[in-house]
Structure 1
């Protein structure tokens, strides 16, 4: 075999391998598989060394891996924003309900105080049946205050839970961002690009 024929055969073999790499990248994208150098090499049936040494193959693989990472990063950011929005909304709703319950309790306590004052005044001047009606109304108001106090306590617990969940979500997000930065730094160290 002549040198020219050997070179032509080698160039044809390289073209076939590059075509296999492109096919493997397309398949992994369709299957939403993980785009890494090893995964692409295994799917294409070529060695990882070929992907690193051949400039055309290296360029295609680096572009595919970078595109996959940016898509994955964007997906993680969107998921984070969606989760954070729901917890923030729950916390705001709980705070609104807590404020409403506190106002209602304050109003009911004022009303009870006024009625207690009237009851004392009437107790001295009104016959027993009227006093009995006022005592009955007073008892029902006390029950209402107890109910509102229970609702207030429940809303405070919900608010505390929402705040705790929000803190956990913020911590989880910070951990994920740190992992992404570490992965990006490791990838840039591996590829030699910033």
Structure 2
């Protein structure tokens, strides 16, 4: 059973903020939000599906590029789980939907999101459904990409952070692109 998501800030405005990573005021982000709105569907679900299905996960794609800023992830259409979470947060926040960052300690630190809809927080994992991942959009029950196996020492962090973990951002900003770059020091814990 997954832990109940718990925000680390009691101000919803913190989960709507723009910064260097979640640059939701960038013209590329705004244009994508306009395109998603044109689908006339659920705006949060449309953003989730776009990130999950239209942005490649670097490991699945065997892509040597490193992205970390939401607008760069959108432009390049590739990113590791953390980068994809940065983009999903930007797309949601640009629509006035509070979104935060959550983490799981698997073989490495895995990044995902939480969204505030229907007056409650729900965790969403837009990692991408290849190589065994099974993330789905659901506000009623958690359908994350990877189940946590506590028997293997894995851990689920219930905290919802308004900004991405500094250790993750620093790693993504400083790692050198190339084959297997994500195997060269991706943080294992917060």
Fold shared per TM-score above 0.5: no
TM range (shorter): under 0.3
Greater relative CO (CA pairs within 8 A, separation 6+): 2
| TM-score (normalised: structure 2) | 0.18
Q: Which has the larger radius of gyration?
A: 1
Q: Which protein has the bigger helix share?
A: 1
Q: Which protein has the bigger strand share?
A: 2
